Amino acid sequence: MNNSASARCAVVGNPIAHSLSPQIHHAFAQQLGLTVQYERILSDEDGFANLVREFFAADGHGLNITVPFKEQAFALAEQCSPRARLAGAVNTLWMDKQTLHGCNTDGEGLVYDLIRLQAHPKNKRILIIGAGGAARGVVIPLLEAGAQTIKIINRTPARASQIIEDLNKQLPQFKKHLIAGDLQDTAGQWDIVINATSAGLGTTGLAHGPIDYSPNSLAYDMVYGAKPTAFMQHAQTQGAQHTADGLGMLVEQAASSFAIWFGQRPPTNAIRQQLRAQLQA
Nearest 5°: the CA angle 139, 250, 221 is 60
Rounded-to-integer distance, Cα 133 and Cα 163, Å: 10
Sign of CA dihedral 247, 252, 258, 262: positive
124 a catalytic residue? no
Contact 36, 11 (CB under 8 A): no
Contact 129, 157 (CB under 8 A): no
Contact 90, 80 (CB under 8 A): yes
Q: For the chain, what's the residue count?
A: 281
Rounded-to-integer distance, Cα 257 and Cα 237, Å: 36
Q: SS3 string of 190-224? A: EEEEEECCCCCHHHHCCCCCCCEEEEEEEEEECCC
Rounded-to-integer distance, Cα 156 and Cα 233, Å: 25
Pairing of strands 189-195, 125-129: parallel
Give the closest residue to 268 by CA, choosing from 18, 24, 20. Answer: 24
SS3 label, residue 20: coil
Output DSSP code: residue 174: G
Contact 235, 219 (CB under 8 A): yes
- Just list the catalytic residues: 70
